[in-house]
Structure 1
């Protein structure tokens, strides 16, 4: 059995492989492929996989673009960070999904569906994309933080950037030295923020537009970013994200 993983976050792909091996020990696992372009190239040149695990949001766009360029007859299990309401809509269309972070029991159930041939491989991509469009999305306007014994509310427009370090998520405000620990992952925070105001630079940083101090060209067509109130001089944007970042700056 050939299983393909399309996922742009390496830790998520590694975790997925570990779980697939547990529930499909006979599978030959290919990937991870981390972009639309790499997935299209693979699918055009390799034998059809028996099953595809596919993230929706990739480094260079939504994975639906893959299926617009290549005819896919394989059953697909999507992984997504979208909320439960959008996910329920997927179920109505008989398309399975896994909500990040991946729950092993949900993965096992999805694989059981595959084994029982309950998938419908013919996808109505237009309908799926419409379901994924935010309906009356409410973006977070403030974050609650704990300072000693006190609880304080920090308006989102006072946030310079969010970053992760040593498995902890921090929020840095526009005021020098003011940073707070949050009980969210960066993936969760990314979904809470107005995308015109914040951009996911890489796996460690989400920055506000106002926090961008300098944008410098770097090797291999990447960009190096200097943020206000940050001493980190190695904040890089991958070449896959460069075009999207420039578009965001020019929005």
Structure 2
């Protein structure tokens, strides 16, 4: 049996190869192919494999583009880290998927399902791509805060930064006002527009306009100075430096 792996993460590809050989010891495995371009070229110049394991998110885009470029009749088992909504799309198309991290038992089940098929399912790649294309997300535009007996709205655009301190979350505005919020920073990170706000560390989420100074610091970290903030030790970890630079560049 000829099996093709399309996966842009080498450790994941090696793990998948190991699992496949445990279930299909007779398999001849090609790949891994790490990009849409590489996979498309391989499929154009080689005989079709008996089975394809294909990650959805590749280095150069969604793997569905491969099947727009090349007609493929081989059955496909997608590997994915997409959420439950996306998984429904796979079920609607009567194809199989493996949710990362892949377990040996689930892989064995997917392979057995493939072996038992008398008729290969017809996959509507265009419908699947449409279902999995991220919809435009609406981010929180205002927060209701309590001031004494009064409740008022504070616009998200007024927020300079959010601070978690002693298990209490505060919203600090550019005008120097501070309000208590009934949200954790983890919750806020999902609610705020990522183009405007960035999670600096466990204590701070800052608006891009709130950052007044950035300095390099030991161990490849960054030290941040926020406007109207007395904390002079706001550090961004080495692991987050790359993401922050992309955020500042507007990527």
Q: How many residues align?
A: 183
- For structure 1, the 5+ residue unaligned runs are 163-170, 181-185, 187-203, 213-248
SS state of the match for residue 207, structure 1? helix
Question: Are positions 1:159 and 2:187 aligned together?
Answer: no
Structure 2 equivalent of residue 74 of structure 1: 74
1:94/1:119 contact within 8 Å kept: no
Residues 158 and 63 of structure 1: is their aligned pair in 2 closer, same or farther, counting only changes over 3 Å? closer
Residues 139 and 6 of structure 1: is their aligned pair in 2 closer, same or farther, counting only changes over 3 Å? farther
Question: Are positions 1:13 and 2:13 aligned together?
Answer: yes
1:76/1:121 contact within 8 Å kept: no
The whole-number CA distance in structure 2 between the counterparts of 1:127 and 1:144 is 43
The whole-number CA distance in structure 2 between the counterparts of 1:173 and 1:114 is 53
Deviations 1:16-70 (A, max 9, x none): 0111011111101111000011111111111110000001111111111111111
Residues 206 and 116 of structure 1: is their aligned pair in 2 closer, same or farther, counting only changes over 3 Å? farther
Higher relative contact order (CA 8 A, sep 6+): 1
TM-score normalised over the length of structure 1: 0.61
Matches within 5 A, 1:169-184: 174=224, 178=235
Question: Are positions 1:2 and 2:2 aligned together?
Answer: yes
Report the alpha carbon displacement of residue 161 of structure 1 after superposing the two structures with TM: 8.5
Matches within 5 A, 1:186-201: none
Structure 1 equivalent of residue 243 of structure 2: 207
2:198/2:244 contact within 8 Å kept: no
Structure 2 equivalent of residue 223 of structure 1: none
The whole-number CA distance in structure 2 between the counterparts of 1:57 and 1:94 is 20
Report the alpha carbon displacement of residue 100 of structure 1 after superposing the two structures with TM: 1.3
TM-score normalised over the length of structure 2: 0.61
Task: Select the structure of larger CA radius of gyration.
Answer: 2
The whole-number CA distance in structure 2 between the counterparts of 1:2 and 1:81 is 25
Residues 23 and 174 of structure 1: is their aligned pair in 2 closer, same or farther, counting only changes over 3 Å? farther
Moved more, 152-161 or 79-88: 152-161
